[in-house]
């Protein structure tokens, strides 16, 4: 049953005072440098918009003003710094010591597509058969992860020398697994190199032991569409085209303490070793773990300022700017 609202000036005053208590204690809270957060997108090149939770690699500040303990901190997620070469128009993400060119970021799906910068540079130099020089290593401290659903792996076996006549140590015939057929891979000793889709590898094969340590490169799974010419294309310049299209990394905004901060309207700040500094709130202060107390006080103050004593259908009605009328009802406890 709807009854007159019980929330009067006295009750509102009590609620405001209770909410204000932690806010008053919060007067000692640190302020942060607003320039530490990228409020709007920074366009790097023609296609990449850089914004939170990414941040520009050179945009590191002492987020907490006057506190040298937080020197070189940033507004964004650990491991998601992007260096922008404005002259070359390329955005670069570093994983461990390797550089990856950012091809695109989908902020709604929480994905970023990157390609090995060395592979792209080789392609720019006219090499359609780049030699992968390292595995992809995603540091543990970064908030990025390889996407299992979007990627598949290419495995490269370089400089394989088959001296035994045993069937188990010989590769499949060329009709099944052709060697890489590019001039840059021709070896005067007769050594051969191969590229295989990881899911097509047979665990019982021993022939990879005759090759150098294999290297693994992720590629976009949607671009792998096997047909009768699939392996021939892959082992010519086809694999190079796949590598240039890059692979996908994801991030999870619900992980860690940052989830509560962002749900309260704040943005997260970390130091250079990935430690959570605090939640950067819209009132210019750093709080931990979130901005919830500040938002509650803000809401209650709006409630007081817009308190409407008009009686409507025998019910007390409260209205906030831009909102519909809200009638306070007594909950049904039956």
Cα separations in angstroms, 264 against 268, 285, 292:
11, 13, 5
Q: Give the Cα separation of 27 and 203 in Å (integer).
A: 63
What pLDDT is recorded for position 68? 59
Gap between the Cα atoms of 293 and 279, Å rounded = 12
Mean pLDDT for back-to-back runs of 10 residues, the chain (334 residues)? 45 44 48 69 87 84 58 84 85 96 97 96 82 94 94 94 76 83 84 90 79 94 77 79 96 88 92 86 88 56 45 35 37 46
Provide the pLDDT for residue 74. Answer: 84
Instruction: Give the phi and the psi of residue 193 in degrees, each rounded to 5.
Output: -125, 150
Q: What is the pLDDT of residue 111?
A: 98
Look up the pTM and report it. 0.75
CA–CA distance, 183 with 265 (Å, rounded to integer): 56
What pLDDT, on the 0 to 100 scale, is given for residue 27? 45
């Amino acid at each position: 049953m709807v009854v007159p609202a019980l929330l009067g000036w006295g009750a509102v005053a009590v609620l405001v005072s209770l909410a204000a208590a932690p806010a008053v204690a919060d007067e000692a809270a640190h302020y942060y440098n607003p320039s530490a957060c990228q409020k709007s997108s920074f366009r790097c090149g023609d296609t990449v918009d850089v914004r939170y939770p990414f941040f520009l690699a050179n945009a590191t500040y002492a987020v907490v003003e006057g506190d040298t303990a937080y020197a070189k901190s940033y507004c964004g997620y650990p491991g998601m710094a992007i260096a922008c070469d404005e002259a070359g128009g390329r955005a670069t993400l570093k994983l461990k010591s390797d550089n990856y060119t950012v091809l695109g970021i989908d902020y709604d799906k929480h994905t970023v597509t990157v390609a090995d910068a060395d592979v792209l540079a080789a392609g720019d130099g006219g090499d359609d058969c780049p030699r992968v020089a390292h595995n992809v290593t995603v540091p543990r401290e970064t908030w990025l992860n390889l996407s299992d659903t979007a990627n598949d792996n290419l495995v490269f076996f370089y400089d394989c020398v088959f001296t035994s006549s045993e069937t188990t140590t010989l590769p499949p015939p060329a009709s099944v697994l052709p060697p890489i057929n590019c001039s840059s891979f021709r070896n005067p000793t007769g050594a051969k190199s191969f590229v295989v889709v990881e899911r097509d590898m047979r665990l019982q094969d021993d022939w990879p032991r005759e090759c150098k340590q294999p290297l693994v490169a992720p590629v976009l799974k949607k671009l792998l569409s096997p047909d009768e010419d699939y392996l021939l294309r892959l082992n010519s310049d086809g694999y190079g085209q796949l590598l240039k299209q890059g692979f996908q990394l994801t991030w999870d905004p619900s992980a860690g303490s940052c989830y509560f901060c962002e749900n309260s309207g704040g943005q997260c700040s970390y130091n250079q070793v990935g430690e959570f500094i605090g939640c950067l709130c819209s009132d210019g202060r750093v709080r931990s773990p979130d901005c919830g107390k500040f938002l509650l006080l803000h809401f209650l103050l709006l409630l007081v300022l817009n308190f409407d004593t008009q009686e409507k259908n025998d019910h007390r009605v409260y209205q906030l700017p831009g909102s519909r009328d809200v009638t306070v009802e007594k909950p049904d406890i039956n």
